[in-house]
Amino acid sequence: MKRVKSIIGILLIMLSFVSLFLWEWKGREMILLREVLVAKHKIEMGTLVDQNMFEIRGVPKDNLIEGALKPEEAGLLMGKVTAQLISQNSQLSQAYFRENEFYLKEGEAIFVIEPDWIAMRSSSLRRGDIVQIYGSNSGGLIGSYRIAFVKDEAEREVRDVMLEGKNYIEKEVLERTDSTSIIDHVEIITTLEEYEKLVAYVTATPNNAGAENQAPALETQVAASEMSRSLILVQGGEKIDP
Nearest to 171 by CA among 120, 233, 122, 126: 126
Q: Is the pTM of this model over 0.85?
A: no
Residue 16 DSSP label: H
**Same domain flag for 118 and 226:** yes
Note whether residue 173 is domain-resident: yes
**Same domain flag for 145 and 207:** yes
User: pLDDT digits over 51-100, tens only?
Assistant: 889 999 989 888 999 999 999 999 889 888 888 889 999 999 999 998 88
**Same domain flag for 144 and 80:** no
174 contact partners, CB below 8 Å, separation of at least 6: 124
Given 82, 99, 116, the domain boundary residue is: 99
**Same domain flag for 147 and 42:** no
Note whether residue 3 is domain-resident: no
Given 41, 64, 99, the domain boundary residue is: 99
User: pLDDT digits over 137-171, tens only?
Assistant: 888 999 999 999 999 999 999 988 765 444 455 67
Report how far residue 148's alpha carbon sits from residue 127's, in angstroms, rounded to the nearest whole number.
Answer: 5
Note whether residue 44 is domain-resident: yes
**Same domain flag for 77 and 127:** no
